[in-house]
Amino acid sequence: MNDFSSSSESETDVPIAAPPTNHDTPPTTTEASPTASGNQQTKPLRRTHSVAHEDFHAKNIVLFNVDLETGGNLCGPVQISVAAFDPQKNVSLAEFDSYVKPADGAEWNQHTINVHGIEPSQQRIKDASKIEDVWRDLLEYFERLLRGGKKGITRSKKLAATRSFRITRSTWEE
Domains of the chain by start residue, with CATH? 59-173 (3.30.420.10)
77-86 and 30-34 beta bridge pairing = unpaired
Asked whether the predicted pLDDT for residue 32 surpasses 90, the reply is no
Asked whether the predicted pLDDT for residue 90 surpasses 80, the reply is yes
Question: 118 vs 4, 20, 110, 111, CA distance in Å?
Answer: 21, 43, 10, 11
Are 23 and 149 in contact by the 8 Å Cβ rule? The answer is no
Question: How far from chain centre, in Å, is Cα 58?
Answer: 21
Average pLDDT, the chain: 76
With cut-offs at 50, 70 and 90, classify the pLDDT of residue 35.
low
